[in-house]
Structures are given as C-alpha cells and as structure tokens.
Amino acid sequence: MPITPPLSCADARCGFVLTPCVRMTLVLASDSCIFGLTGSVGGEAERQYIEKTYQAVPYEVPQFLKTCDATTKEDATNLGVVIKERFSEKIHEVVQAARQYHTDVPVLIITRGAEKDELPKVVRALLEALTSDPRERMRNRERMRATGEFHKLCRLTKMGMASFAASPPPSTGASLASSPIKSSPSIAPSIGRATSVGQAIELADTIELDEHTELRTQLKSPPLAPNWRSAPIATPNWRSAPTLTSVTALCPRIQLLQERDEHGRSMIDEANTIIDQATKRCYSENREPYFRVTVTDWFGGRGHDFDCLSEHANAHGGMLVICTSIPDAREWAQWKGRTARQDRPGQYLVVLCAEDEPFCNEPGLAESMRKLPPDQIIEALLKRKDAVTAAALSSFEAQQARGAWQNELCERYFKRHPRRADTVWPSIVARKTDMKLRDLLQVPFESGAKMKEAALERLQVEIQGPPGHWGWAPDDVFGIEPKRQQMAVVFLIDRTYEQFLQAVVDAVVKVFDKYIVEDDLVGYYGLGFSEIFAVQPKGVGEQAAKLRDQIVNSVQKGGEPHVYSSIKKCLDKLLEVDKSYSKWLVVLTDTVDFECFNAKGINDNMSPVRALTAVNSLIQEMQEMRGLHLVIIDAHGIANFNAKHTMWPTWSKMSQRLTDDVGDSNVGLNIEATNVSEIDEAFERVAGAMTGGAAG
C-alpha cells in the first residue's frame, strides 16, 4: 500500500494524521500474507479481532518438552488467591508471603507500580520485615523519613524508574530528634530525649509511625544481643551518605526492577544483571541462606528470563511470583511465564484487595469470589478483563473503519492530483482542492456512506470503504464521538443582492437537510430582520417539510443592509433558548451596514464611530453569553457595491472583530467567500464545525 502525504508527513500538512495503530492496521491489512510469532496471543476478544481484521488463523505451538517422549512439563502451582478487605492488609499479606518464602526460593513481586503508590509501599514494608536488627530497622525508618526517600520513590515510580534519591538532611545531630521527622509533631521531641532503645520504647508506646507498624513493635523485635535494651541509639553518618541510594543499599535482600532510572534513561542493560541476581542464592553475615525479593511493576512481568538453576529452590517449589492484580489474558500468560520455565517447577500467589477494582464497584463480589477455588477466581477475573478488552477493540474497530475510508480518500485524491513528496502543501496547482480535502478530513462523519457522498460531491472522488470481512457496511454508524449536543441554529442571510441569493438558499437547504436533526431548533431571517420563520423545532414529516419549503421559496430580494442591528435581534432570540442547547448564529453578508450612516442616510466622518459603537455593544452582549457559535461568511468580494467606498476598511475590520472578540466561552469563525461557488464550501465548513470537525 503506498503511503500518501497525509499519512506519512509528521507535520500533518493536510491537517490529517491517522493514529499509529490505525495506520499500521491499514498497512498490514493490505498484505496478501502475514506470518507472526508471539508468546501470547491474548484473550478470546483479541483472537476474534485478529481473525476478523486479518482473517488470521492462530495456531498454538506446543512447548518443546510436551513434544518429547517420556517427558512431562508441569504448569506452575497456584498457591491460592487471597482477597483482603483493606489495602494495608493486602500489603501486609504480600510482605509476609515474601518473608516466608524468600529463604528457600527466589521471589518476584509484580505490583501495580504507581497506582496507590503500591510499589513504594511494598518496598517500605519489606524493609521493615526483612531487616532483622531492630536498631537497623529504626535507622532505615529514620533515614526514609528524614530524607524524604519514600516520597521520592513514589515520584520516581510514577515515571517508571529503578532507584530513588536520598539527599542528606539539613543538619546532622547526635539524636533522632536532630532530623526533620515529618510524622506526628510529638514524635521528634519525645524520641529525641531517648538515649537508649529501652527508653525509646517507653516514650513511643502510643506513637504510631505509619500504617504498618508502631515504633514499639519495631524496637521490641527479637534482639541480637542480651544487652540490647540499654544499647545506645546509633546515629547514621549523614555526611557520608550517597546522593543516590538503591533499595539494596538499605537491605541487600530487596532489589527493584523497573524500566527507567531517575534520569529517565533506559535500564534495560542493567535489568539483565538484576534478573541474574534474582535467582542466585545468597548468604547473610551469619551464613543464613536466602534469595533476593525482586519488586517490579508490569515491566518486570513480561519478557524477562528468570532462570532458576538452584536445586534447593526447585526442591521447594521453584521461583515464587506474587501478583497484586489480575491483568488481561495476554499479560497473565506473561506473568505466569516468569516461573516454571523450561523443565523447572514454579509457583505463584495472587493477593488482591476488596478496595480495588473490580470489587470496589460491585458490593458482595469479593465475598462471593472468596468461596470459589483459586483457579476459578482467576478465570472469572480474566473473563471480566476480556469483556473490557472486547469493548475497547470494538471502539478501535470503528476508528479503524473510518480510518480506512479516510485513507482510501487520500489515496484516490493524490492519484488524481499527483505531486512530488517534497511539494509544498497545499500545492500551487491544486490549492483549492487541497483545501477542500483538508476540510473534508476534519469532519467526523458518522458513517462511511456520508463520507462517500461528500467525497464524490466535493472532490469528485469515489471511494468504496474497507474490506467486507471487517463487517462495516457503508451505512453503519461509527459511534466514535458521543452524540452531539442539541443545537439552536439561526440563519441570518443577506437577501439584498439577487446574484448570489440562489446559491445561499441552496447551501442553507443542504445544511438543513443533512446536519440539522428533528430535535434541533432552527430559525431563518434576512438582514433588516425580515423573518422567514422564527426559531422552532425542525421536527419531522409535515413540520420539517413546511420549514424546508419556506427556505426554498426565499429566493426573493428583500430586507435592508442592516448587519449589526439584525445580529442583535438574532442574539436576543437565541438568549430565549434553553441553556441545554448549543447556540449557532450563521450570518452571510457582504458586511455593508447602512445604519452607520447619519439620519439622512449619508456617509459622514462619524460613520466609523457609529459602526464601532454598534459592534462594541454586540461584543459586550455576546461575551455575557455561554455556548455561542458565531459564524460570519464574508461575501464582500461577490457583492456589487462601490469598491471605492471609504467604509470598506471599517466594515471589514468590524466583521473580523465580531468573531475574534466573541468571548472566551464562545466560538467565532470568519469565512471569506470570494465567488459564488465558494458559498457552498463555506456552509460545508460550518456543517463540519457543527458535527464536531475543526473548522479552522
């Protein structure tokens, strides 16, 4: 498929660029054959999508070990699905499981990352649980608080980073009170008076430092020495603290695996080292064996080879993956695939929370799920995710279908109007039609049939639409944009010049037929406020036919060139309309206003002042309105009025001011029609703006 300028130019020269996903779909769909390999096709919705869009035939290649005689491949063992009531209980459950298993097997915790600051909170709780020395835990806690490391970790996690910054505090005293603890105001002075761990316990009986543990519990953990109670509180050497501290520096049993570092740089190369370390057996200073606990987000859940070669770990069930959510089927296959790799065993545990989706929005769902076996819980949650994926794909299919119509339009247009790839856009030769193409592409047509009709009428380009197997007939409504707001549309036209009146009436009829629906309000007036019909519902049947006939039969000269007073009366009519309507005033005029002349109808030196006064009054009234769309179609280039008249600069300037200063809550659009054929194009632009397309 040749890529046309609208698709390939990053600067969107014709105002239209397909999204990368839609563009790639169209390119791939044009190929006669595609062959691909993937580790996970996805759920049922995704399978149906690729079969429908590409007529693909998925084939599942069996795992190698399942093709060998006398060899079995065991799936990872499901250790259970735990649904806790509160988020804090969920964190506690995850940490306790990691603490229990990490002495025998590697542990990978796949968190939701920055959502609810889950990854930082898991890390903080792990630091508490996996640091055996109560004094070291106290120092870690103090360091995290004093330097704000926890909050920095939260910020970096939201950026997908792998470590967190730690800056020295502003002062370096000899007690805990010397650092700026940011919890309860009573903590610092109270604990600051303590000179030993025992005294700190007595002073901290009722002080809760965070949602996981109290200082008393922390300090009374199993001591390492019999005289621990009288041991002095050691103060960290803040001056020697590095400005960048990894979690491993605080506790060697914990490591982070994320996509980027604190500077936004890719950590892919470093990730290989982290992954290798994740499955290696380590020893503490007391020669106690353990495996690192690797904490990650969705980045660490796919595509990484955690190769657990330890016989001890495999004898205890293999690497443990702890998941804090159930993703879609594609991701779930990846997450489970981080363990039980090759011919080795593996195990996984899912820890969820009733305060998270989908449980928080469905009372009783968590309780009913708890009664099901673990595998059934996972299957039920995957089906829910699949339904969400199906809805998203349905929306994407609509964008894809409209994109196919737009792409075909561009292809056929540029075949009719060829040019070099580096030709300036719009081109000098085809400037007029290039601009028509741009305007057409900016209208969000509700169906392929409407786009086909517009392309043929405005560009003489015939398009057929996407392949039939996509399931999108020309009359099918895309449904991409929400239903537009009801409109109240007032047409105010210049009927004083007969030469272009027929073209104006034809253009109004077209907008009335195609773009104004039965629930909209419509009014039709001539300059001098000659009323053809007042603002009323378009309706259906006889009502709509009656209004249409009145428009068709309005090709009669009448009215007066009183632009500003006529606009004022139309604005007053729109002010009477309910606020739920989007208000449109479409004015076609040559901008000539005789009311700015003196009482005798003569142009004098005060005429510009009168025009300015009238326009200022209109601007003030419009700026007090909300939801007004003012469109002025300037036809002065067509009108047969004295080209040397001294008021032309003023009239032109006032016309532009009206649309420029319409107000922040309103929209102004000024379109120039220099010949009769451009009147229809101007009204088409108005129609595009009404349907949500960019009009500029």
Summarize the confidence of residues 92-99 as an average pLDDT. Answer: 96
**Residue 201 burial (CB count, 10 A):** 18
More confident position, 43 or 428: 428
| Residue 62 belongs to a domain | no
| Residue 247 belongs to a domain | yes
| Residue 626 belongs to a domain | yes
């119509």: which residue's tokens? 405
Which pLDDT belongs to residue 175? 31
| Residue 296 belongs to a domain | yes
Given 353, 373, 408, the domain boundary residue is 353
pLDDT in tens, 543-590: 999 999 999 999 988 889 899 999 999 999 999 999 999 999 999 999
Cα(270)–Cα(258) distance, rounded to whole angstroms? Answer: 10
Summarize the confidence of residues 237-243 as an average pLDDT. Answer: 32
The answer to whether residue 226 scores a pLDDT higher than 60 is no
| Residue 587 belongs to a domain | yes
Q: Is 178 helix (H, G, I), strand (E, B) or coil?
A: helix
pLDDT in tens, 622-653: 999 999 999 999 998 887 677 788 998 999 99
Tokens of 350: 């899912």
Q: Is 346 helix (H, G, I), strand (E, B) or coil?
A: strand
Q: What's the structural domain count of the chain? A: 2
- Most confident among 69-73, 82-86, 592-596, 687-691 (mean pLDDT): 82-86
pLDDT band, residue 263 (cuts 50/70/90): low
Given 311, 333, 353, the domain boundary residue is 353
pLDDT band, residue 140 (cuts 50/70/90): low
Cβ contact 518:539 at 8 Å: yes
- Where residue 620 sits, what CATH number does that domain have? 3.40.50.410
Domain boundaries, position 590: 487-690
| Residue 279 belongs to a domain | yes
Question: Could you write out the DSSP letters of every residue in 553-604?
Answer: TT-S--S---HHHHHHHHHHHHHTS-TTSEEEEEEEE----GGGS-TTS---
| Residue 375 belongs to a domain | no
Helix (H) or strand (E) holding 77: strand 77-84
pLDDT in tens, 9-31: 333 445 455 555 666 666 666 66
| Residue 361 belongs to a domain | no
Which pLDDT belongs to residue 286? 85
The answer for residues whose C-beta is within 8 angstroms of residue 628's C-beta and 6 or more apart is: 571, 574, 583, 584, 585, 622, 662, 663, 665, 666, 667
Given 353, 372, 407, the domain boundary residue is 353
